[in-house]
């Protein structure tokens, strides 16, 4: 085992330890703010409920907000992909073949001469009738928010 492998392993251990300490500090802060229910603090369920009731939230409006949050988390990338596709963004040139490789440069969409279809051109001068669209994908945070809002909406509906 050489020196660089030992250093990278030691660095990984330090990073892991540092992240564990940060998570532990956040958990202690949330505990003393009452988030986990043992300590009476501003984040305890009773205090959150009183604050929401004081702001005019009812059980029904809170359920509706959770359902709206679920729908937004479910569909935001569909809407962005539709807008990007309709405006001709996130397109790459398809000149070439799988054996040679594709050009892959960003393509710009323009109407062709008769005006009945699109022409895609790239900075290398390729002009084609098709281009590859790269959709926006949801990440871990969006999927976690999606599942958490669905679980909370179901829990509040059944409670």
Half-sphere exposure of 12 (CA within 13 A, CB side): 6
Task: Judge whether 152 and 66 are in contact, CB under 8 Å.
Answer: yes
**Residue 155 is encoded by which pair of tokens?**
């829990």
Q: What are the extents of the domains in the chain?
A: 1-57, 58-88+135-159, 91-134
d(CA 40, CA 32): 8
Per-residue pLDDT of the chain (159 residues; tens, 9 = 90+): 555 556 788 899 999 999 999 999 999 999 999 988 888 999 888 898 899 899 999 888 888 888 888 888 889 999 999 999 999 899 999 998 888 888 889 999 989 888 888 999 999 999 998 999 999 999 898 888 888 888 888 887 786
């Amino acid at each position: 085992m050489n020196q660089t492998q030992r250093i990278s392993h030691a660095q990984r251990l330090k990073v892991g330890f540092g992240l564990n300490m940060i998570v532990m500090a956040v958990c202690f802060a949330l505990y003393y703010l009452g988030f986990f229910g043992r300590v009476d603090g501003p984040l305890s369920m009773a205090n959150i409920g009183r604050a929401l009731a004081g702001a005019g939230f009812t059980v029904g409006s809170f359920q509706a907000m959770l359902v709206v949050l679920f729908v937004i988390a479910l569909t935001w990338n569909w809407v962005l992909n539709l807008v990007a596709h309709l405006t001709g963004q996130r397109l790459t040139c398809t000149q070439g073949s799988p054996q040679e490789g594709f050009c892959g440069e960003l393509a710009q969409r323009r109407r062709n001469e008769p005006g009945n279809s699109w022409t895609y051109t790239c900075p290398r001068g390729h002009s084609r009738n098709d281009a590859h669209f790269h959709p926006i994908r949801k990440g871990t945070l969006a999927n976690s928010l999606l599942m958490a809002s669905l679980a909370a909406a179901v829990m509040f509906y059944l409670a």
